[in-house]
Amino acid sequence: MKYYLPLLVFFLFVNKGMSQIDSTSVKTTEQDSIKKTEFLRSIGNGYFPTKYINIDLRYLIKYNQYEGFRTGLGGITNSDFSKKFRLQGYTVYGFLDHNFKYSFGGGFRIAKKTNTWINLAYTNDLQETGSSNFLTDKRFFQFFEPRLINIDLFHKYISKTISLEHQLHPKIITETQFGVSNINPTYNYTFDLNSGESFTDYDLTMFKTSLQWNPFSKFEYSENGINETKAGYPKFTLQYTKSLANVLGGDLSFSKVDFRTIQKFNYKNNASTELVLTTGITSENTPLTHMYHAYPNNVNKETIWSRFSVAGTNSFETMYFNEFFSDSFATLQLKHAFAPFNVSPWFKPQLVFISRFALGTMKDTFRHQGISFNTLDKGFTESGLEINKLFFGFGLSFAYRYGAYHLPNIEDNIAVKFTFNISLD
Rounded to whole angstroms, how far apart are CA atoms 74 and 59? 6
Helix, strand or coil, per DSSP, at residue 316: strand
Rounded to whole angstroms, how far apart are CA atoms 226 and 165? 12
Rounded to whole angstroms, how far apart are CA atoms 251 and 307? 39
Q: What is the CA radius of gyration of the chain?
A: 26
In degrees and rounded to multiples of 5, residue 322 shows phi and psi of 65, 15
Q: Can you tell me the mean pLDDT for 140-169?
A: 85
Residue 208's pLDDT is 97
Residue 9's pLDDT is 44
Range of lowest pLDDT (209-223, 239-253, 312-326):
209-223
Residues 360-418: pLDDT tens digits? 999 889 999 999 999 999 999 999 999 998 887 789 999 999 999 999 999 999 999 98
- For 112-420, the fitting CATH number among 2.40.160, 2.40.128, 3.30.1490, 2.60.98 is 2.40.160
Rounded to whole angstroms, how far apart are CA atoms 56 and 395? 27
Task: Note whether 351 and 340 are within 8 A (CB).
Answer: no
Rounded to whole angstroms, how far apart are CA atoms 162 and 312? 32
Strand ranges, E, within 50-98: 53-56, 61-64, 68-77, 85-94
Residue 3's pLDDT is 40
The residue ranges of every structural domain in the chain are 1-44, 48-107, 112-420
Residues 71-126: pLDDT tens digits? 999 999 998 899 899 999 999 999 999 999 999 999 999 998 888 999 999 999 99
Q: Would you give the end-to-end CA distance of the chain in angstroms?
A: 57
Task: Note whether 332 and 300 are within 8 A (CB).
Answer: no
Residue 364's pLDDT is 87
Checking if the pLDDT of 142 tops 90, the result is no
Number of residues assigned to the chain: 425
Question: Could you tell me which residue, 421 or 154, shows the higher pLDDT?
Answer: 154
Confidence of residue 138 (pLDDT cuts 50, 70, 90): low
Strand ranges, E, within 186-233: 190-192, 198-199, 202-213, 218-222, 225-230
Q: Count Cβ atoms below 10 Å from residue 198 Cβ, excluding itself.
A: 11
Checking if the pLDDT of 58 tops 90, the result is no
The secondary element (H helix, E strand) that includes residue 7 is: helix 4-44
Strand ranges, E, within 231-269: 235-243, 254-266
Rounded to whole angstroms, how far apart are CA atoms 357 and 279? 12
Confidence of residue 14 (pLDDT cuts 50, 70, 90): very low
Percent of the residues in the chain that have a pLDDT greater than 70, as a whole number: 85
Residues 96-111: pLDDT tens digits? 999 999 999 999 999 9
Cα angle value 186/329/326 (rounded, 5°)? 35
β partners of residue 365:
none
